A = this chain, B = another copy of it.
Amino acid sequence: MNKQALQDTANRIGKYIHRTPVLSSTMLNEIAGASVYFKCENFQRMGAFKMRGAASAILNLSEVDQKKGVVTHSSGNFGQAVALAAKSLGVKAYIVMPSSAPAVKQAAVKAYGGVITISAPTLEAREAESQKIIDSTGATFLHPSNDLDVILGQGTAAMELLEEQAELDVLMTPVGGGGLVAGTALAGHFFGKKCVTIGGEPFEADDAYRSLISGKIETNETANTIADGLRTTLGDINFPIIQKYVDSIIRVEEEEIVAALRLIWERMKIVIEPSCAVPFAALLREKERFAGKRIGIIISGGNVDLGALPF
């Protein structure tokens, strides 16, 4: 893992992704007591940072493997990201989606040219359907977070942020499967100046917090959080990176997530997913720790169901 690997990834995926804007708000800075820079990956292609990792992973396949296609199972953003990145590269994408996935998400994958297979809504069924496709096509399976090329791709958002705000003291991201926080921590370590990376996680799905304490990958018995992107657990590839490069993880209550979400919608005028509000909620929860600092927050995505808002 080195600086050059990140730089190569950024160069490789550059033309397949948007360079997203960095926004800030005087009002939110006053509320936070710090200078906060929001890296708006909700404006990324297909609406989330996952586009970066998907593009990175597909670009890293051999030409032979690209011809056979890629497969993933996802009910959310990673399926859309793989479909769109594959389309941009002329690669066939097979997306296994649980029958419980909203019609709108299926439509999005289809619009991006993905070949959808509907499975029963269990992990076993999704994995079995994926394996069937791999067996019959030779397609390469892409994991949304536990894959080094994906992790490096996700890290490019923080690299761009550090290019604009070189003096950041802290980078913050939500922690779900661990790809974003791991990639961000690498970017902060190699491209920041004494910049530490801190994750935000719901108390309701605090597997990563507990994993850092126990030293092994913990799971969640339940995950009743509005931050639906953060219900997943870490993997054996990203966990060692997180152990080495992430400073700490701050847990937040559900009400804190909703309050932070509302503040960002109201003050920043941007549509973001509940998961994105978790790091800002973490900042507000431990305000004194961040007083006067320069904080970069990765706003991970903006694909929300407007019919089901918590306001």
Q: How far is the CA of A272 from the CA of B266 in the complex (A)?
A: 10
A105 interface contact, C-beta 8 A? no
Total copies of the chain: 2
A residues 265-283 near B (Cβ < 8 Å) are 265-266, 268-272
Give Cα A175–Cα B2 distance, bound, in whole angstroms: 55
Report if A79 contacts B (CB, 8 A).
no
Partner of A309, one of B21, B23, B306: B306
Complex alpha-carbon distance, A306 and B265, angstroms: 8
Closest to A27 in B: B111
Write out the residue numbers on chain B whose beta carbons fall within 8 Å of the beta carbon of A144: none
A28 to chain B minimum Cβ distance, whole angstroms, is: 13
In the bound complex, what is the Cα–Cα distance between A45 and B27 (angstroms)? 10
| Closest residue of B by beta carbon distance from A45 | B26
Q: Chain B nearest CB: distance from A170 CB in Å?
A: 24
**Contacts beyond the supplied A23-B43, A309-B309: 16 A-B pairs with Cβ under 8 Å:** A42-B269, A43-B269, A47-B269, A262-B306, A265-B271, A265-B306, A266-B271, A266-B306, A269-B270, A269-B272, A269-B302, A270-B270, A270-B271, A271-B271, A306-B309, A307-B311
**A interface vs B, CB < 8 Å?**
21, 23, 26, 40, 42-43, 45, 47, 262, 265-266, 268-272, 302, 306-307, 309, 311
